[in-house]
Copies of this chain bind each other. A is one copy, B any other.
C-alpha cells in the first residue's frame, strides 16, 4: 500500500531537507502519486519550489562566505570585557562540536573559546599565545552552555608578556581551566 497523506508529507519534508535539489516530478514518481499531489503537499507544508530552495541554499552560502571570517575571530560571544583586566564569553555547545561516538565536546572547541577570549582581553593589535597549560576537568556535552572567564593576573613588560588565568564553567561547575602566557607587541605599561 501507498503511504497515507500524513506519512507521505512527513517523508516528503525529510526528503527535501536531505536533498533540496529534487524536483516535483522526481518526488511524484518516488511516492507514486501525481505531480499535482506533490504540489498540494508542498503548499500545505509551505515548502517553496525547487528554484527558491536552491536560491535559499545559495544565498545562505553567499552570506556565510562573507561573514565566516569576522564571526570566527572569537569563538563564543563575548558578553563582558574590561581590556587588560577580565573578559567573559558564552559558547553554546551544539551537535557539531561533539564526538559522534560518545557525545562529548571535542577538546579543541573548549580550547578555542578559551584561547580566543585570552586574545580578546588583551588591549593590543597583536596578541599571540606563547604557552599554555590546560586542564579538561569535566566532559562537556551538546546543549551545555559554557561560560569562560579570563582574568589577567600579571605582566612582564620587559618581555612583552601578559599572564591570564582562565576558567570555563557549565552551570557553575568547572569544566576547563588553564593558564595562558600571551605575547603582545606594544608594551602597554599599565592602563590608567
Contact = CB atoms under 8 A, between A and B. Distances in A.
Interface stretch (A5-13, A93-101, A166-174): A93-101
A99 B115 contact: no
A189 to B, nearest CB: 22
Contact of A132 (B51, B64, B130, B133): B133
Contact of A61 (B57, B72, B112, B136): B57
Q: How many of chain A's residues touch chain B, expressed as a range?
A: 35 or more
Interface string A113-150: 00110010000011011111111100100000000000
Given A108-B111, A111-B111, A131-B134, 7 more contacts: A21-B58, A58-B61, A108-B108, A108-B115, A130-B135, A131-B133, A132-B134
